[in-house]
Amino acid sequence: MKLSVPGRTAAAVAVAVAGLLTTSAISTAAPAPKADAPKADAPKAAAAPDISVANVKAHLADLQSVADANGGNRAHGSAGYKASVDHLKKKLDEAGFTTSVQEFTAGGDTGYNLIADWPGGDESKTVMAGAHLDSVSDGPGINDNGSGSAAVLETALTVAREQYKPTKHLRFAWWGAEEIGLVGSSHYVDSLPGGDSSKISGYLNFDMISSPNAGYFVYDDDPTIEKTFKDYYAGLNIATEPDDEGDGRSDHAPFQQAGVPVGGLFTGAETTKSAAQAQKWGGTAGEPFDKCYHSSCDGASNIDETALDRNSDAVAYAVWGLSS
Ligand code: TRP
Ligand code: CA
Ligand code: ZN
């Protein structure tokens, strides 16, 4: 199924309609778009909100505290993982989401996926955004993947704050046991009732989106989702690169295998930033995008706040643009 971005379409239609009203009725050519401010009565597309990076950082501080209180990590099977789930669930319940915790077993331990549905919208066209919430056992997992978890959480809370009423149904997900083989997301996809994967019109994945030596990678999978993220970055005048090392390395993989259109963002893991990449993105050439990848130093300071802000706003841009 192809996704559309009605915000853009509506704007294009508005320009075309305005043009017809002001040019000869027999003219068939669309007039060149003008840079003028939109007319007061122009149809308004639901504009994606700015996501507060301060709020996203507060969620990261909470996840760091959870790790601190539970032996330094939030890994599958640990008390820190379950505490992370409970913390997010409470916030989502209070905001008006319908939440559920899906249990599974992996490596002899119980794992949990947290699913939050925003009531309303066409459930046969569900847009999902997700992130893995587990860390490795070596550290608190703040960039990997507190960053994606916090950005998706703040986007969901903003949906509630704005009482957003999208045409499509919205579902947010935080996966367990990604770090031991995409277990939670695979379990979710395998457990979908027959045919239900076709009701998911897109799955957006956010895993490592604030690497301290950040790159700006956009998954090159579904063309419509990819274009949505590229349009967002084009608006900021920031070059992106297709993520070609990600295939199969995060929770979008099981969705993609089930035929769901997927996309996402990534700021880089253990790979070294090239001179050309440092030229366009800043940061340090010859060093990894995240030198604390899967280690104990992936803590509260292991983030690039600018990348976190941009990518959090990009999450909302895509959620709004693909669901309206
Ligand atoms: N999923 C990996 C992890 O959690 C990180 C990773 C490496 C990744 N390459 C990627 C995520 C590309 C998304 C895209 O350890
Ligand atoms: Ca922001
Ligand atoms: Zn990860």
For the beta carbon of residue 272, count every other beta carbon within 10 angstroms.
14
pLDDT tens per residue, range 54-78:
999 999 999 999 999 999 999 999 9
How many structural domains comprise the chain?
A: 1
Cα–Cα distance between 21 and 320 in angstroms, integer?
30
Statement: residue 23 has pLDDT above 80: no
Is residue 273 pLDDT above 60, yes or no?
A: yes
Distance 275 CA to ligand 3 centre (A): 25
pLDDT digits (tens, 9 = 90+) for 210-233: 999 999 999 999 999 999 999 999
- Annotated catalytic residue within 94, 103, 154, 178: 178
Does 2 reside within a domain? no
**154 in catalytic set:** no
Q: What is the pLDDT of residue 248?
A: 82
CA–CA distance, 219 with 311 (Å, rounded to integer): 13
Average pLDDT of the chain is: 89
Provide mean pLDDT across the span 196-217: 98
Q: Is residue 20 part of a domain?
A: no
Ligand 1 site: residues with CB under 6 angstroms?
144-145, 178-179, 207-208, 243, 245-246, 249-250, 266, 269
Parent domain of 135: 49-323
pLDDT at 75: 98
**Residue that the structure tokens 């989401």 belong to:** 97
Answer for the pair 61, 300: CB distance below 8 angstroms, yes or no.
Answer: yes
The separation between CA 94 and the C-alpha centre of its own chain, rounded to angstroms, equals 21
CATH number at residue 197: 3.40.630.10
What is the per-residue pLDDT for 110? 98
Mean pLDDT of 9-32: 36
* Average confidence (pLDDT) over 154-172: 98
Residue 256 lies in a domain: yes
Using DSSP bridges, classify how beta strands 168-175 and 241-243 pair: parallel, antiparallel or unpaired.
Answer: unpaired
296-319: average pLDDT: 98
Look at strands 217-219 and 122-132 and give their pairing.
Answer: unpaired
281: burial class by Cβ within 10 Å (0-12, 13-18, 19+)? buried
Nearest residue CA, atom 9 of ligand 1? 246
C-alpha distance across the termini of the chain, in Å: 16
Q: Is residue 103 part of a domain?
A: yes
Would you say residue 290 has pLDDT above 80? yes
- Answer yes or no: is 7 within a domain: no
Phi-psi region of 264 (alpha: psi -120 to 50; beta: other; left: phi over 0): left
Q: How far is ligand 2, taken at its centre, from the CA of residue 15, in Å?
A: 28
C-alpha distances (whole Å) from 136 to each of 19, 101, 179, 296 are 56, 21, 6, 9
Give CA–CA dist 323/131, Å, rounded.
18
Polymer length in residues for the chain: 324
Ligand 1 atom having least distance to the Cα of 252:
13
Fill in the DSSP letter of residue 23. Answer: S
Q: What is the pLDDT of residue 77?
A: 98
Which helix (H) or strand (E) element contains residue 151?
helix 147-161
Alpha-carbon span 135 to 81, nearest angstrom: 8
**Model confidence at 30: pLDDT above 90:** no
Rg of the chain over Cα atoms, rounded to whole angstroms, equals 20
Mutating to test ligand 1, I would choose from 143, 152, 218, 249 the residue with most ligand atoms within 8 A of its C-beta, which is 249
319 pLDDT exceeds 60? yes
Q: Between 271 and 9, whose confidence is greater?
A: 271
Identify whether 42 is part of a domain: no
Is 32's pLDDT higher than 70?
no
**Could you give the CA distance from residue 302 to residue 310 in angstroms, rounded to a whole number?**
16
pLDDT at 244: 73
pLDDT-derived band at 13 (thresholds 50, 70, 90) equals very low
Mean pLDDT computed over 104-129: 98
Residue 41: exposed, middle, or buried by beta-carbon count in 10 A (0-12, 13-18, 19+)?
A: exposed
- pLDDT tier at 7 (50, 70, 90 boundaries)? very low
Query: pLDDT tens, 228-254?
Result: 999 999 999 999 999 976 678 999 999
pLDDT of 170 strictly over 90: yes
Mean pLDDT, range 276-286, rounded to an integer:
98
Alpha carbon distances (Å) from 3 to 16, 153, 260: 22, 23, 11
Is 36 a member of any domain?
no
DSSP line for 271-283: SBPPHHHHHHH-S
Q: Specify if 3 maps to a domain.
A: no
